Structure 1
Amino acid sequence: MSPLLVSSLGTRTTPSARRAAQLCVQMRQMRGFTNTSSRSNGPNNPQGSGSTTHFGYKTIPTESKESLVKGVFSSVASKYDLMNDAMSMGVHRLWKDQFVSLLDPGRRKPVKCLDVAGGTGDIALRILDSARERWADRETSVRLLDINPEMLAEGQKRFKKTMYHNTSQVAFTLGNAQELPRDSCPDDEYDLYTIAFGIRNCTDVQAVLSEAFRTLKPGGTFSCLEFSKVGNPLLAQVYDTYSFSLIPMLGSILASDRASYQYLIESIRRFPPQKEFASMIAQAGFKIGDIHEGEGGAWIDLWGGIASVHTGKKPL
């Protein structure tokens, strides 16, 4: 546990600080697992008795990951937007704007969107605002789904301050991306499925992609914004130094939670590179572009590959 986190607990502990402390204990308990387990199925095929997967750079029992990730986001929920601004110097807002701009919701007709790992609601709100402001579309709707009740509560707080509160244009659902609730996410239901900075935290990424395919209508669009691999070696070195040195320190200072932000950085490094992730999307059944970046390709890199937008279409 970091000294800053210990000092923050003292005699006046807050719920978020207690969750952070509990998470630290859980993470330390997992250190006995190594990456040499012969039963490890890897990060994207975690099924099987005694299987292991990754949690940041640690190898853990597969069944432990979901609760550990929930612990991270329960701990950071109330400071999530603040920390994103601090960690990226506000750049994450530009990436999210570009992500939604590429989708251009409402251009042809109103869309029914499922925003998975929607958390604090910033993508859902951008989708509704874009459709309204660019196309005078007041019928596009978003179902915001998240596995973490604290993150979902932050999204509900955000929408209470908007014109969409208590309208049919937004709904909130507690659910698991790997097994979406059938009542609110039936087969062939949505025109658009979005997931931003969330899929890397899932235990079984292929299961998430399969569920996305199931819930989309034929012709529907899957779009994922996620941290990726930087192509330029010099930029990669600078980015790594910044990420591993500054971001956990900011987590300690701004959120009294170094461990959670250390995990978030490690999870970025463990996520598959762009080509591999594009192949996984195709394996789920989606039509994608050629396996390269840029026009006609399967993904678009942002800021040299610090983040990428992957898109797929469900065949008609």
Structure 2
Amino acid sequence: MPDTSSDTVDFGFSTIARAQKSQRVRDVFNSVARRYDVMNDLMSLGVHRLWKREFVGMMDPRPHRTLLDLAGGTGDISFQWRQRGGGPVILTDINEQMLGVGRGRAEQRGLIDGIAFAVADAETLPLADASVDRVSIAFGLRNCTNKERVLSEALRVLKPGGRFFCLEFSKLQIAVAAPLYERWSFAALPAIGAVVANDRESYQYLAESIRMFPDQETLATMMRDAGFARVSYRNLTGGIAAIHAGWRI
């Protein structure tokens, strides 16, 4: 379990002052914002598109349900929610450049109606208690400084009967594939990042941040400790990623 009382926190495999992490993460995503879809394709070999489809399906979009999309970045989850019949969306991200990419994509695709955009920190949400039906965060929780606070805030803004969903890289469950996955993450991915985006360091951090993220059972325990009920998770592609879900009762 992470030590939230410490003055230091992980930044990939490095340890930095807790107060510095938000800015360091912001710098990474400022660098990769315009290449964010390419980054996800590289990190997941393109499978993230299937994972997101399953993720949104599990959220059960309905016209009367409001979605808060945390760390929503370029808008993939929000767009699918709306296209599959979901109600209004509040798409948030702490990074203004990422949010700008999302807004531009929404305008190009004719999806701007029904989506509100807000620069917001998932650890201190500017929303009223019990105000949304669904809260989602896809590939964003591992970059947050205080993950417990994010979970607490998600629970606070959910209506009773609402649900929280997290899609995140997780712990591979197929031991025989682990060496190949390690070589891809720590040798191939940063090298490709250097060529594609001229940014080896950001891709190195992103690979390291996956390894530092809590495994499936640990995150499930964190969600229960935050107050979520009926917590469950589903492994994707052998545990390379996982979808966690919990209810506010």
| Alignment TM-score, normalising by the size of structure 1 | 0.77
Question: 1:245 and 2:190 equivalent?
Answer: no
- In structure 1, what is the Cα distance between the partners aligned to 2:192 and 2:40? 10
Which residue of structure 2 lines up, in the alignment, with residue 17 of structure 1? none
Which residue of structure 2 lines up, in the alignment, with residue 146 of structure 1? 93
Which residue of structure 1 lines up, in the alignment, with residue 4 of structure 2? 46
Q: 1:271-286 counterparts in 2 under 5 A?
A: 271-286=213-228
Which residue of structure 1 lines up, in the alignment, with residue 109 of structure 2? 162
- In structure 2, what is the Cα distance between the partners aligned to 1:236 and 1:173? 39
Which residue of structure 2 lines up, in the alignment, with residue 303 of structure 1? 237
Q: Counterpart of 1:79 in 2: which secondary structure?
A: helix
- In structure 2, what is the Cα distance between the partners aligned to 1:241 and 1:288? 36
- In structure 2, what is the Cα distance between the partners aligned to 1:204 and 1:220? 22
Aligned sequence identity (%): 46
Q: Counterpart of 1:127 in 2: which secondary structure?
A: helix
- Superposed CA offset, 1:10-63 (max 9, x none): xxxxxxxxxxxxxxxxxxxxxxxxxxxxxxxx8x34345xx1110000011111
Question: 1:196 and 2:196 equivalent?
Answer: no
Q: 1:163-312 counterparts in 2 under 5 A?
A: 163-165=110-112, 167=113, 169-181=114-126, 185-289=127-231, 298-312=232-246
- In structure 1, what is the Cα distance between the partners aligned to 2:111 and 2:64? 15
Structure 1: runs of 5 or more not aligned: 1-41, 132-136, 290-297
- Superposed CA offset, 1:259-280 (max 9, x none): 0000000000000111010000
- In structure 1, what is the Cα distance between the partners aligned to 2:109 and 2:214? 36
- Superposed CA offset, 1:264-305 (max 9, x none): 00000000111010000011111024xxxxxxxx10000010
Aligned partners of 1:46 and 1:62 also within 8 Å: no
Which residue of structure 2 lines up, in the alignment, with residue 96 of structure 1? 52
Which residue of structure 2 lines up, in the alignment, with residue 114 of structure 1? 68
- In structure 1, what is the Cα distance between the partners aligned to 2:74 and 2:246? 25
| Alignment TM-score, normalising by the size of structure 2 | 0.97
- In structure 2, what is the Cα distance between the partners aligned to 1:235 and 1:190? 40
Structure 2: runs of 5 or more not aligned: none
- Superposed CA offset, 1:40-99 (max 9, x none): xx8x34345xx1110000011111111100100011001111222233231110110111
Aligned length: 249
Q: Counterpart of 1:72 in 2: which secondary structure?
A: helix
- In structure 2, what is the Cα distance between the partners aligned to 1:77 and 1:94? 21
- In structure 2, what is the Cα distance between the partners aligned to 1:209 and 1:288? 15
User: Partner amino acid for 1:216?
Assistant: L
- In structure 1, what is the Cα distance between the partners aligned to 2:32 and 2:53? 23
Residue 151 of structure 1 and its aligned partner are, at CA, apart by 0.3
Q: Counterpart of 1:252 in 2: which secondary structure?
A: helix
Q: What is the aligned-residue RMSD (CA, Å)?
A: 1.3
Residue 103 of structure 1 and its aligned partner are, at CA, apart by 1.6
Residue 125 of structure 1 and its aligned partner are, at CA, apart by 0.3
Residue 130 of structure 1 and its aligned partner are, at CA, apart by 1.2
Aligned partners of 1:188 and 1:218 also within 8 Å: yes
Q: Pick the structure with greater CA Rg.
A: 1
- In structure 2, what is the Cα distance between the partners aligned to 1:303 and 1:111? 29
- In structure 1, what is the Cα distance between the partners aligned to 2:233 and 2:39? 27
Aligned partners of 1:223 and 1:311 also within 8 Å: yes
- In structure 2, what is the Cα distance between the partners aligned to 1:225 and 1:269? 15
Q: Counterpart of 1:230 in 2: which secondary structure?
A: coil
- In structure 1, what is the Cα distance between the partners aligned to 2:102 and 2:5? 32
Q: Counterpart of 1:288 in 2: which secondary structure?
A: strand
- Superposed CA offset, 1:103-132 (max 9, x none): 2211xx52100000000001100111111x
- In structure 2, what is the Cα distance between the partners aligned to 1:251 and 1:221? 35
Residue 199 of structure 1 and its aligned partner are, at CA, apart by 0.2
Residue 163 of structure 1 and its aligned partner are, at CA, apart by 2.8
Question: 1:124 and 2:78 equivalent?
Answer: yes
